[in-house]
Each structure stands twice: as C-alpha cells, then as structure tokens.
Amino acid sequence: MIPFFEYNWQVRDEWFAWCSQLPEEELIRFRTGGVGSFLKTLFHIIDVEYSWIRGIQGKEDIVFDYAGYDSLEKVQSLSDRCRSEVIEFLKENREGRATDAVRVPWDDEKFTVGEVLHHLIAHEIHHIGQLSVWARELDLTPVSAHYAGRTLKPFVSYES
C-alpha cells in the first residue's frame, strides 16, 4: 500500500509544479465538479489525508481553515508539513494494524485501518482525475496519471 501513497505524493507534487503556470485567478476560479477550484481541491486532498491519519492514531483532528492557505505556495507548504507526519505514521504502522478498528469524530461508522488507508489512496486519485478534466478544459496537458513506468521516491527521499 505504501507505494500508492508515494505515487499519490509524486503526482501531487507534479500538480503543484503544473499549477505554477496558472495565474492566481485560474487557480481559484470556481469550476464545476470536485471541490470547486484547483487550489481548494489540492487543499482538500491534504486536509482529508491528514485528518484520517490523525483519526487512525486517536489524535484530535486539526481543522485547517482554507482562508489561511490562499496561495499555491501555502498549500504546498501545508502538504509538505502534513506529509512528514503521515510518513512517520506509515513507517511505524505497517500492514499489521489493517484490521484494527477506527472511529473518528466526524463519522458515526466504525472502519478498519486498512479501509481508511485504501480510502485515502482512492480519494486522492479521484480528485486528481478532476484536476485532469479541468486542465483539459483549459486546453492544457494534465499531469500524467500513469503508475507504470514511474520511479517512485521512497520515504527516505522525502525526509531530506
């Protein structure tokens, strides 16, 4: 499962680089579908991943206010900061906890760690697809979603 987190992070970083070509008004322009804009969608991906990982750990949810992350640089910085904590969690909690129960304050249902981790992977891939649609609507080539042929960065590459 860890290679899929590494894949998502690599693609996310490529989207940050891709988005740097857009003027701010295109980053924040409301679009149909998804969370509504390139910037809000990237923010949402990070926020959801971080909240669920903290939920698995039984830690209090930290609610990020989008208003405080109103630029590509701020959202990318949030991604880097949250990712380091997610990496530490994934290093410490390999597949052995997959069947452990998870309860989070924003949902009445009980899940397993494995279900949550799979959800996080699928959630980001889903939203990256939305970014790709919006890129094509702008007549721009989106970031490649191909998994095959990528050289993934192992966790140690993220820690430097």
Q: Annotation-wise, does 126 bind a ligand?
A: no
Residue 137 has phi, psi (to 5 degrees) of -65, -25
Please report where in the chains the tokens 């979603």 appear, as a residue: 145
Q: Annotation-wise, does 119 bind a ligand?
A: no
H/E element, 112:
strand 111-112
Distance CA 124, CA 37 (A): 15
Tell me 57's DSSP state: T
* Among 35, 53, 48, CA closest to 127: 35
Annotated binding site for a divalent metal cation: 44, 123, 127
Annotated binding site: 44, 123, 127
